[in-house]
Structure 1
């Protein structure tokens, strides 16, 4: 089953320093039917103005992934970690037993866009940790490139959950197939452009699709399309 969530099905919010689109309930936006998808709890698409951002704040019992789309994002935390990511990099933070962190756009002039994703961990009371990983952007073209997975490897950040995050830049008219084991879930999120899913469902920028009971998915670019695909566990959590 493919359930399409158009941008307008979620919630957008903005002020003088950030414009955000929430795919799931977040902050002041709450929908009891839109709280999670398997272990996935948050998918926020944020554009932050220069020298602005999210000041120091706490997290616990969450796997937090940030993916830079444009501009820069600077991370600092109570463990002493600090790093700046830009397009071609992702960061993973395990909040575990508790961590304080901030996420700021350090540029003086350029807005920064990034995706922030939260997942429930597969193990509670983990020690907090942080990493940022660089991947080869040339490998995005017309294929699915894993950037986050349960096991770390070159260009892939490690997450404490049975989740794999892929990115792809699919050229207009090109298609690719994704096959997974039965009883799992798929989430597709369009960062830019538009694509058809199984030649039937058209999704565009900031639209998403939540897919269950479907082991094979065909993705065809209606126009040049930059998207994220997440392979998630099924069953009750």
Structure 2
């Protein structure tokens, strides 16, 4: 097994006043040659948007873009005619493909909105753009991993154009669990949302990240009440 540890306070940071963003990988004005990506996981941004503010209409192309709200309500509009609100307990995906333009705003005039913005490099170029949004309430389980994304349209969660599987877990203190990779050539990137957890023996705290590859299985031990995101992605 090989690993790479990204402590929360080593992430890149951008603060525009209305947007406070931490970058696990190089993004915008933050560049680190050692942190361009982890396999096909290209972007993992931890965003906080001020009340009533947001991202104006802007384009994307040939990227799988996943949004996972953590707090508050995020208003989404795009040139495919979608006008939706995503909130904690939802997951949204856009396959940008040949091109899509969209905007994202904090719907609230009273509270911040916090969400993860994740980009995955697709395994197909110039596909027809695709949008999906679901509530994960129906698949959520306690003290075990539950799938929220896969490459399969008929699977649990949303789907993307890449052989990737995302899972969430909400563990109580002392719970142990494990994840078996779908493909042994893939890697796993674990991002801690809250709490303390040991991943393959490595202690992680809130907003730490750990990449693992050349392994068949990844073990977890919760050292507190903890929420984690587990992303299996191709390494090439």
Is the TM value for this pair above 0.5? yes
Offset, 1:9: 2.0
Q: Aligned equivalents of 1:74 and 1:153: distance in 2?
A: 27
1:192 to 2:194 alignment = yes
**Structure 1, gaps ≥5 residues long:** none
- The alignment partner of 2:140 has SS state of helix
Report the counterpart of residue 111 of structure 1 in structure 2.
112
TM-score, normalising length from structure 1? 0.94
- Give 4+ residue runs of structure 1 displaced > 4 Å after superposition: none
Structure 2: distance between partners of 1:138 and 1:153 = 14
Q: CA-to-partner distance for each residue in 1:114-143, whole Å, 9 max, x for gaps?
A: 001001111101111211111117824211
Root-mean-square deviation (CA), in Å?
1.4
Aligned to 2:177: 176
**Match of residue 96 from structure 1:** 97
CA distances 1:52-97 after superposition (whole Å, capped 9, x unpaired): 1111111101000000111111111111111111111100001111
| 1:12 equivalent in alignment to 2:16 | no
Cα separation, 1, equivalents of 2:139 and 2:132: 22
For residue 42 of structure 1, what is the aligned residue in structure 2? 43
Which 5+ residue runs of structure 2 have no aligned equivalent?
A: none
Q: Contact 1:147–1:157 at 8 Å: present in 2 too?
A: yes
C-alpha contact 1:6 1:208 (8 A) present in aligned 2: yes
Give yes or no for contact 1:140–1:167 (8 Å, CA) kept in 2: no
Partner SS for 1:219: strand
- Is 1:151 paired with 2:159? no
SS of 1:139's partner is: coil
